[in-house]
Amino acid sequence: MAYKTLADLSSKMAKIDYCTLSTHGDGGTIAARPMSNNRDVEYDGDSFFFAYDSARSVSDIARDPKVGLSYQGSSGIVGQRPFFITIEGQGELIRDKAAFEAHWTKDLEIYFPQGINTPGIVLIKVHAERVHYWDGEDEGEIRV
């Protein structure tokens, strides 16, 4: 079994545009939705996503910052298994335009037409505490 580093996982995550963000809803329910990282991945344990302040994900994180992310990718080789990465961590809501600029890509304008000046925009930061991966026969966990 070959153990992977955060740098190894970062190169795989950069090829995956969408992941699933899971939060804790009212009464302990779990809510999940797709989120795009817009290939803004130089993974060091932090993931960033844009949302509207009115989104359920934002109110869930404000109430309970414990979140999960799940990624699924393909090796690109027929007959090989896909790989999976799950992340448990803490969500943080950022409303700072300098942080928006640091993570903005032009593709986001489809969702936020006024760019970083879109009213009600918020940046969700997920700081990993535990990263678990499955890649073919390799499986491992990284504590961040």
| pLDDT given at position 124 | 96
| pLDDT given at position 6 | 81
> Which residues of the chain fall short of a pLDDT of 70?
1-2, 38-42, 75-80
| pLDDT given at position 117 | 96
Q: How far is CA 26 from CA 34, 37, 56, 84, 123, in A?
A: 19, 26, 10, 28, 22
| pLDDT given at position 127 | 95
Residues 124 and 100: their CA atoms lie apart, in Å, by 10
| pLDDT given at position 118 | 96
The CATH number, out of the four listed (3.40.309.10, 3.40.225.10, 2.30.110.10, 3.40.50.12780), of the domain defined by the range 6-143: 2.30.110.10
